[in-house]
Amino acid sequence: MKIWINKCIENEKSTYFNDALTFNLSVPGRGGLIASNIRDGWYRKLGIQSVSPICEDLYILALSIFAADKRISRSSATDGWTRKLHLSIPVIEYIRWNSVRTDLEKMFSFLSGDIWTIDFRECEPTNRYQDNHKKPPIKLVSPETYDAVSLFSGGLDSYCGAYELLSQGKKVVFVGFKEFGKLEQIQNEIVNHFDKSFPETSKMLFTFTAKAYKPLGIEKLPAENTSRSRSFLFLAAAICVAEAIGVNTPVYIPENGFIGLNLPLTPGRKGSCSTRTTHPYFLKMLNQILLQLGINHEIINPYAFMTKREMIQQHKDSAGFLDCVFKTISCSHPCNTRWHGKSLPENCGYCYPCLIRQSSLLDLTVPNEHYTFDALSYDYIVHATNSRRSDLVDLLSSISTAVKSDDQALLKRIKQTGQLSKEEVIAFLRLYKATINDLLELFSRDKDLMRMIGMEYAPN
């Protein structure tokens, strides 16, 4: 599938791309829009109207990859999954981007499971993606006011990461994706709550949106419900914020190692539905590309080899931490609560992230912790719909496979996830087995769930 990206000016297509689908980032009066409000955020929250050309290019690249990933259905692929996507993208720093083109294609293929080809073309110097407010901005961020950027979804992992950074005295801009208004409300409530524990420490929430509409050049095109590249877009936005603060400002992406490893639950779930953005192999590739481009903002996951339970144990004795855990949203579909008469997003209790969440909180009594459904019983499996029990059934199957596997079998599976050093493989083996033990402890309260796993029930 050939895709032509226009930035702020409509370019004449090359002969090869004449029949390509077209996306327009900011071309007045044209369809095929890739909409984002980040420029307004630059102006209002950071006090800048534009970022450097290389970081602008990075965000344009991320928007382009995101749009192609989101709008080109996998059903169009020969095997029903692996798409062949060929993009032409305008950039300012053409020479630098062309020097890393092959590395980018390799990285995006690892990220989404597709075959990517990227052609860069040089755009006009006046073709800038910037804020157009007439009043000059007053810069609001600097190395004196902030010294770190951290992705912040409002989930439990990003909450742990935020609390740890603030505990270290870091002055942090938290970058969140404004997917739903009520989720942004929760993100704001959590960041405001940090003022109670860290009143003297600078902190700010920067949120942005992005949405890809149907491209020009095709009548009917079903959207795609998988989008691994979305998290690359988050990182690109965070890097732009880091650059506004100052050179060498790090970007943190806090996520537990079990999710980062991303072992498929079952052979039938080897697809690209879940993220690979925090897999060490991806982060190594991305950091190397950033260095080659001269973008000096390292991406760091401080929890790459920790379980979710271990992350939480770092702050389990802190009242300030515990008071807000219940507000965090781990759920993969938190806004579905509206179908149950609830106005605010809530953790469903039965999706994969919610089940991992519950296993991580076994050491705590969390005030006001609540789930829409209590899925921790065989009775739930019997009465739930297929869609509501599938994650639980697959997770039980995955645990069953794990407990029957020796270390060599587990090491083989871990090595298949991506290029890892010997030390990384050993570290992942430890945390994988630890997470499986946490899940066994979670399910041990129900004898029939334990029998589904293939374990004997041992009542307390």
Tell me: the pLDDT tens digits for 22-46? 999 999 888 999 999 999 999 999 9
Which two tokens mark 180?
């739903």
Would you list the domain boundaries of the chain? Answer: 1-32+49-124, 328-453
* pLDDT at position 460: 54
* pLDDT at position 405: 96
Q: What does the alpha-carbon distance between residue 303 and residue 278 come to, in Å, rounded to a whole number?
A: 10
* pLDDT at position 335: 77
| pLDDT 10s digits, 436-456 | 999 999 999 999 999 999 987
Whether residue 98 contacts residue 14, with contact meaning beta carbons closer than 8 Å, is answered with no
pTM beyond 0.85: the answer is: yes
For 416-433, letters b (16+ CB in 10 Å) and e give ebbebeeebeebbbebbb
Q: Which residues pair with 176 in a beta bridge?
A: 207
Which strands make up the sheet holding 84-91, listed edge to edge?
A: 21-24, 2-6, 84-91, 115-122
DSSP label of 335: G
Q: Positive or negative, the Cα torsion across 68, 72, 73, 74?
A: negative
Is residue 327 classed as helix, strand or coil in its secondary structure? coil
Q: What are phi and psi of 283, to 5 degrees?
A: -65, -35
- Cα angle, residue 100 at apex, residues 415 and 87 outer, rounded to 5°: 95
Closest-CA residue to 354 (of 316, 380, 382, 379)? 380
Residue 281's pLDDT band (cuts 50, 70, 90): very high
